[in-house]
A and B are shown apart, each in its own frame.
Chain A
Amino acid sequence: DQQVKQNSPSLSVQEGRISILNCDYTNSMFDYFLWYKKYPAEGPTFLISISSIKDKNEDGRFTVFLNKSAKHLSLHIVPSQPGDSAVYFCASEKGGSNYKLTFGKGTLLTVNP
């Protein structure tokens, strides 16, 4: 049973446009949601996070939106840049205790110049 789902394996956008990556979850006990970016041959790097008590968190070009009733979150990247091309993972965690993260399968974002 996959508790975190990223239903789009890939997404292609033009440079300067908005990229929207989506993530759905099934476990209502999740307290924190995180987005990671992964380049080939590197480990995932933390991008942005949101607590379940918030519905939006912004950091520069990156904004994460959380809709708890729909158990859905999304990552918006505006404007998209070619260097943003990577695999993006959505991850969830229960309790904020630094225990395990549950990851989705990832979405490959390609930003075309």
Chain B
Amino acid sequence: DAGVTQSPTHLIKTRGQQVTLRCSPKSGHDTVSWYQQALGQGPQFIFQYYEEEERQRGNFPDRFSGHQFPNYSSELNVNALLLGDSALYLCASSLVGAMLDPNYGYTFGSGTRLTVV
């Protein structure tokens, strides 16, 4: 059973460009969350999607937007890229209400390493 898959694994973009990152959740999961992990920092919550709606949002500007599709997969879009957006972007899937279940709680993908030059 495939876990959480993210694509691409690495990406280099120029300042001002736009980027789309993709995430396929683990089988049986219905919720997708996105995190940004800057170098030397812990992951920071961007937003969470459930039932194709943004359920909760962290302290990120509107340049960060997302989408969830009927098959539960998700995209993260970042517009007008800044150098400071360079980071590892992690997608995590889960089953709603099953935070601590080892099978249905948060499962992270390996991330997309975004470099903005």
Contact = CB atoms under 8 A, between A and B. Distances in A.
Contacts, number: 66
Interface string A18-51: 0000000000000010101000011111100101
Closest 8 CB pairs of A and B: A103-B42, A43-B108, A100-B45, A98-B99, A43-B110, A44-B108, A105-B42, A103-B43
17 contacts: A34-B106, A44-B108, A46-B107, A49-B100, A96-B100, A98-B31, A98-B95, A98-B96, A98-B97, A98-B98, A99-B48, A99-B56, A100-B58, A101-B35, A101-B106, A103-B44, A105-B42
A43 B56 contact: no
B90 A101 contact: no
Interface residues of A, number: 27
A106 B40 CA distance: 8
B31 A43 contact: no
B110 A32 contact: no
Nearest to A87: B42
Nearest to A89: B42
Interface in B29-68: 31, 33, 35, 40-45, 48, 55-56, 58
Instruction: Determine which residue in A36, A42, A103 has the highest number of CB atoms from chain B within 10 A of its CB, and name it.
Output: A103
A43 B90 contact: yes
